[in-house]
Amino acid sequence: MRHTPRTAAASALLAASLLHAGAALSQEAMANQFIKGGDETLTLDLGGILNQFNTSLQLNGTTSQGTDIGLEGAGLKKQNSSFEAGATWRFLSRNRIDVLYFQAKRSGGKTLNRDIDIDGTVIPVNATLDVEAKDSFLLADYRFSFVKTPTIEFAGLLGFYGGQFKYNVNASAQGSHPVQFSTTASTTVPLPVIGATLDWYINPRWKVSGNVSGMKANIGDVDGSVLIAGAATEYMLLRNLGVGLAYMYSDVSADVTKSDFNGSLGWKTNSVRMYGQFKF
C-alpha cells in the first residue's frame, strides 16, 4: 500500500493519540494506587526532631524572687535531637484528632559571672552552676474542616498543649564563703489552644500544609500562654509509606505557684521534624 502524505499524517496523529491515551491511563492507574488526600483514615508519623532552644528558668524563694536564668547561658546545649511520634485519626470525613509527642533532655554547667538567687539561696559569682533539664511534650487537638475539596482542606482546631518540665540545679563555691546547693523543681504546663490548619493536596502523593494555634489562660496554679506555628510537606513513596519534613515554632511562658515549683519558665524553640509516614 502506497503511503501518501495524507495517510502518513493520519498515522502519526493516530500514534500520538494512542500514546497520549496510554500516558493518561498510566497516570490514572498510578494515581489510583495512592490514597487521595482527605480520604485517609489513620496516619502514623515516626522519626526525629531537632530543636534549637531559647529557654529560661526562675525559681523563687519563700521571701525572695529568684533570678531569671537563661539556660543556654548556664551551659545547656542550644540544640538537641530526640525521637518523636505523631498520629492523625480521621474518624469522619471532616473530623480529625491529631497528636504529637516528643522529649528533650539536656545538661550542662558554667562558672557564674554574677551573683544569682535560686530558690531563696544566693549563689555567689565564680561559683560552679550545673543544670539538668528533662522536658516532655504532648500536643493534641480536634479539627473540623469547614472547607474540604479534592485539593484544599481548611480546618479549625481546638486542642491541648501539655508540657512536663523537670529541673535539677546544683551549685558549689569554695573560698571564704563556701556554698553547696542543690534543688529540684518540676511542673506540668497544661494550656488550651485554638487555631487553624490548611492542607493543600497537590496530588495523591504530595501534600503541603500549615498551622497556627495558641492561647493565654490561667489553669489552676499555672498562668501561661502558648503560640505554635508550623509548616510541613509530605510525599508518599508507596501507597502506605511516605516521608515528611516539617518546621515548628513554639513559644511558651508560664508563672507557676506550686509546692514543687514556685517561679516561672520560658520555652522558645525552632524545631525541624523528619519522619517516615504510614497512611491507611
> 186-200: per-residue pLDDT in tens?
999 999 999 999 999
Q: What is the mean pLDDT of the chain?
A: 91
Lowest mean per-residue pLDDT among 17-21, 165-169, 200-204, 260-264: 17-21
In the chain, where are the structural domains located?
1-32, 39-279
State the Cα angle at 268 between 266 and 269, rounded to 5°. Answer: 145
pLDDT at residue 29, as a whole number: 47
pTM of the model: 0.85
Could you give the CA distance from residue 102 to residue 120 in angstroms, rounded to a whole number?
Answer: 32
**Residues in contact with 154: Cβ distance below 8 Å, sequence separation at least 6, in sequence order:** 145, 146, 147, 148, 196, 197, 198, 199
pLDDT at residue 115, as a whole number: 93
Across residues 106-124, what is the average pLDDT?
A: 93
Torsion angle in degrees (nearest 10) through CA of 247, 197, 225, 73: 0
pLDDT at residue 39, as a whole number: 97
SS3 helix, strand, coil % of the chain, rounded to 5? 10, 70, 20
Does 121 have pLDDT greater than 60?
Answer: yes
> Among 3.40.190.10, 1.10.150.120, 1.10.10.60, 2.40.128.90, what is the CATH number of 39-279?
2.40.128.90
> 39-87: per-residue pLDDT in tens?
999 999 999 999 999 999 999 998 899 999 999 999 999 999 999 999 9
Nearest to 247 by CA among 260, 266, 261, 228: 228
Does 10 have pLDDT greater than 60?
Answer: no
Looking at the chain, the number of H-run helices and the number of E-run strands are 1, 13
Which residues, in sequence order, are bridge partners of residue 213?
195, 228
Could you give the CA distance from residue 216 to residue 191 in angstroms, rounded to a whole number?
Answer: 8
Across residues 99-106, what is the average pLDDT?
A: 96
